[in-house]
Amino acid sequence: MKQLIDKLETNSVLSLEEYTKLIEGFTPELSEYLFEKARNIRHHYYGHDVYMRGLIEFTNYCKNDCIYCGIRRSNKNADRYRLTKEDILFCCESGYELGFRTFVLQGGEDPYFTDEKIIDIIRSIKEKYPDCAITLSIGEKEHDSYQAFFDAGADRYLLRHETANDVHYGKLHPKELSLKHRKQCLYDLKKIGYQVGCGFMVGSPYQTAENLAEDVLFIKELQPHMVGIGPFIAQHDTPFKDEKNGTLELTLFMLGLLRLTVPNVLLPSTTALGTIHPRGRELGILAGANVVMPNLSPVNVRKKYMLYDNKICTGDEAAECRYCMQNRMEAIGYHVVVSRGDCAAVE
Segment 283-332, tens digit of pLDDT: 999 999 999 999 999 999 999 999 998 998 888 888 898 999 999 999 99
Query: Is pLDDT above 90 for 338?
Result: no
Mutual angle of helices 28-46 and 248-261, in 10-degree steps: 40
At 346, the pLDDT band (50, 70, 90 cuts) reads confident
21-26's contacts with Cβ under 8 Å and 24+ in sequence apart are 22/257, 23/209, 23/212, 23/213, 23/250, 23/253, 23/254, 23/257, 24/209, 25/1, 26/1, 26/249, 26/250, 26/253
Spatial CA neighbour of 317 closest among 78, 106, 91: 91
Query: Is pLDDT above 80 for 209?
Result: yes
Query: Is pLDDT above 80 for 347?
Result: no
pTM: 0.97
Q: Residue 314: what pLDDT? A: 85
Four-residue CA torsion sign, 191, 196, 201, 202: positive
**Cβ–Cβ contacts within 10 Å for residue 221, how many?**
10
At 120, the pLDDT band (50, 70, 90 cuts) reads very high
**Average of pLDDT values for 140-155?**
98
pLDDT of 44-81, one tens digit each?
Answer: 999 999 999 999 999 999 999 999 999 999 999 999 99
| Structural contact between residues 221 and 214, judged by C-beta atoms closer than 8 angstroms | no
